[in-house]
């Protein structure tokens, strides 16, 4: 559990730095002369450049372990944040955000794969995934308000520089505090990972790429592609929300108000994640319940229901806090334990696609209809198509089963 504690500490600080940007980034881009459409593109391209990073991260994490990618991602993201404080034109901000999106893409698959390897018991793994969500949420509760207050006092440039240097420092500490999880692959694992040949045969290369999504030689034990509709729809809905909040009438009053609105979402998620007894229920049932509740809340926002914005944001957080850890735990039941890196990288790919589409869709439809309609119309069908667990996932090799 010491490794889990280290991972949680570093994840907290990393997510604090990254979430502190949300209420600040859009006003900063507008201060450089960017249009709302350009802001949507800037937010989307950050997620778009996640894709190559996720595709590269999965097989590499499976082969070399997660530690080098956790450390490298933190340090590189910190450097990008520091460079962000030096930009003077919107296109420069776009370029820095594109690079930042690529380097940070390695962090989530590496951390989740390391956490999943800490236990063979599915209930324990569910608690580890919930702990990961709890750490993310704790950081997200305080960081938007803190980032807004820092920007109001020290300016955009000072805020980005301080956050970037903090990330670099955390990356250095991670190099010293996280033990390596890399293990030499067994002959069967070596074959599943594509072998050690420098130039694999074309057929093996194709099977390895298909195996990334669970459709290769291990097809019967892979993750159904329909599973990834849910994280894509969830990320799209969050991208729409994070685009709309800084531009809302309430958020325009001050940076502090904008930060408080972001924190309300995280407060709701924190309440859900603190209910650890929920981990005893089926992850599929929890994911379905949380997804439906989230879709209905976005429906309420789309029709301008009488519930005020603040309670609506808390409700979004409550639903998200149920959906996300349940979805990641459900993924463990579907994925082969040798391919956790690939499975979580594919999860990140789906989330990146959704996070890219969300802000762009919001920027292009907001003059005609409420962007929250898009969130509702994507979430509800995705939850309806979420596949159930078809089998009990095997224990991790070399670890004892629960007695």
DSSP string, 111-138: HHHHHHTT-S-HHHHHHHHHHHHHHHHH
Lowest mean pLDDT among 10-14, 41-45, 84-88, 188-192: 188-192
- The pLDDT-based confidence of 183 (bands split at 50, 70, 90) is low
Q: Give the Cα separation of 273 and 271 in Å (integer).
A: 6
The b/e string for 379-401 (b: 16+ C-beta within 10 A; e otherwise) is: bbebbeebeeeeeebeebeeeee
Geometric angle at alpha carbon 349, from 241 and 92, rounded to 5°: 65
**Is residue 35 situated within a structural domain?**
yes
Q: Give the Cα separation of 200 and 196 in Å (integer).
A: 8
Q: Where are the alpha helices (DSSP H) in 65-180?
A: 67-84, 90-104, 107-116, 122-177
pLDDT above 80: residue 154: yes
**Is residue 241 situated within a structural domain?**
yes
**Is residue 308 situated within a structural domain?**
yes
Q: Give the Cα separation of 130 and 276 in Å (integer).
A: 8
| Residue whose tokens read 């130039």 | 199
**Is residue 185 situated within a structural domain?**
no
Q: Give the Cα separation of 142 and 18 in Å (integer).
A: 12
The enclosing domain of 281 has a CATH number of: 1.20.1250.20
**Is residue 65 situated within a structural domain?**
yes
| Residue whose tokens read 């593109």 | 41
pLDDT above 70: residue 255: no
Contact 237, 298 (CB under 8 A): yes
**Is residue 380 situated within a structural domain?**
yes
Q: What are the distances in angstroms from CA 77 to CA 60, 102, 111, 396?
A: 19, 9, 15, 32
**Is residue 166 situated within a structural domain?**
yes
- The pLDDT-based confidence of 213 (bands split at 50, 70, 90) is very low
- The pLDDT-based confidence of 122 (bands split at 50, 70, 90) is low
pLDDT above 60: residue 197: no
Residue 112 tokens read as 């989740």
- The pLDDT-based confidence of 376 (bands split at 50, 70, 90) is very high
Amino acid 135: pLDDT: 80
Amino acid 315: pLDDT: 94
Q: Give the Cα separation of 282 and 177 in Å (integer).
A: 34
Three-state SS for 84? helix
Contact 122, 332 (CB under 8 A): yes
Dihedral of alpha carbons 61, 67, 71, 74, sign: positive
- Name the phi and psi angles at 366, rounded to 5: -65, -20
pLDDT above 70: residue 32: yes
Instruction: Report the chain's terminal Cα–Cα distance, integer Å.
Output: 19
pLDDT above 90: residue 171: no
Amino acid 230: pLDDT: 92
Residue 141 tokens read as 């509760």
pLDDT above 90: residue 173: no
For the chain, give the percent of residues with pLDDT over 70.
Answer: 80
pTM, whole model, 2 decimals?
Answer: 0.64
Residue 34 tokens read as 């960017």
Q: Please give the tally of structural domains in the chain.
A: 1
Q: Give the Cα separation of 56 and 43 in Å (integer).
A: 22
Q: Give the Cα separation of 28 and 157 in Å (integer).
A: 9
pLDDT above 60: residue 253: yes
What number is the average pLDDT over the span 57-85?
Answer: 84
pLDDT tens digits, one per residue of 127-150: 776 677 678 777 777 787 788 888
pLDDT above 60: residue 188: no
**Is residue 86 situated within a structural domain?**
yes
- The pLDDT-based confidence of 389 (bands split at 50, 70, 90) is low
Helix (H) / strand (E) containing 360: helix 340-365
Amino acid 399: pLDDT: 35
- The pLDDT-based confidence of 232 (bands split at 50, 70, 90) is very high
Largest Cα span, the chain: 62
Contact 222, 338 (CB under 8 A): no
What number is the average pLDDT over the span 344-361?
Answer: 82
- The pLDDT-based confidence of 319 (bands split at 50, 70, 90) is very high
Q: In terms of residue numbers, what domain contains 361?
A: 2-179+216-384
Q: Give the Cα separation of 303 and 110 in Å (integer).
A: 40
**Closest C-alpha among 325, 309, 350, 230 to residue 270:** 325
Amino acid 229: pLDDT: 92
Of 256 and 53, more confident: 53
């Amino acid at each position: 559990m010491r490794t889990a504690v280290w991972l949680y500490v570093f994840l907290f600080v990393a997510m604090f730095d990254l979430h502190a940007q949300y209420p600040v980034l859009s006003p900063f881009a507008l201060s450089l002369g960017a249009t709302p459409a350009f802001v949507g593109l800037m937010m989307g391209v950050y997620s778009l450049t996640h894709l190559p990073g996720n595709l590269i991260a999965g097989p590499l994490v499976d082969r070399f372990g997660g530690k080098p990618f956790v450390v490298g991602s933190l340090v590189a993201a910190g450097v990008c944040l520091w460079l962000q404080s030096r930009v003077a034109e919107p296109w420069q901000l776009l370029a820095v955000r594109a690079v930042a999106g690529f380097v940070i893409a390695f962090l989530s698959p590496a951390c989740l794969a390391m956490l999943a390897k800490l236990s063979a018991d599915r209930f324990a793994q569910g608690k580890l995934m919930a702990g990961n969500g709890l750490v993310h949420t704790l950081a997200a509760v305080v960081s938007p308000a803190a980032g807004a207050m820092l920007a109001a006092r020290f300016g955009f440039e000072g805020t980005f520089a301080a956050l970037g240097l903090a990330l670099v420092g955390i990356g250095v500490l991670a190099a010293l505090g996280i033990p390596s999880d890399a293990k030499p692959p067994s002959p069967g694992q070596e074959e599943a990972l594509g072998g050690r040949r420098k130039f694999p045969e074309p057929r093996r290369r194709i099977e390895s790429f298909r195996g990334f999504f669970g459709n290769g030689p291990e097809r019967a034990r892979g993750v159904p592609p329909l599973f990834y509709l849910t994280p894509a729809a969830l990320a799209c809905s969050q991208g729409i929300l994070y685009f709309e909040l800084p531009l809302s009438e309430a958020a325009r009053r001050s940076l502090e108000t904008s930060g408080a609105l972001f924190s309300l979402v995280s407060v709701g998620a924190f309440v859900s994640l603190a209910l650890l007894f929920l981990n005893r229920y089926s992850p599929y049932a929890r994911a379905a319940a949380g997804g439906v509740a989230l879709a209905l809340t976005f429906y309420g926002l789309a029709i301008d229901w009488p519930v005020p914005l603040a309670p609506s944001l808390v409700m979004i957080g409550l639903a998200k806090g149920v959906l996300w850890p349940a979805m990641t735990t459900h993924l463990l039941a579907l994925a082969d334990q040798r391919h956790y890196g690939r499975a979580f990288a594919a999860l990140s790919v789906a989330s990146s696609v959704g996070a890219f589409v969300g802000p762009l869709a919001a920027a292009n439809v907001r003059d005609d209809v409420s962007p929250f309609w898009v969130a509702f119309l994507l979430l509800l069908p995705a939850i309806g198509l979420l596949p159930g667990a078809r089998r009990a996932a095997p224990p991790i090799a070399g670890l004892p089963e629960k007695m």
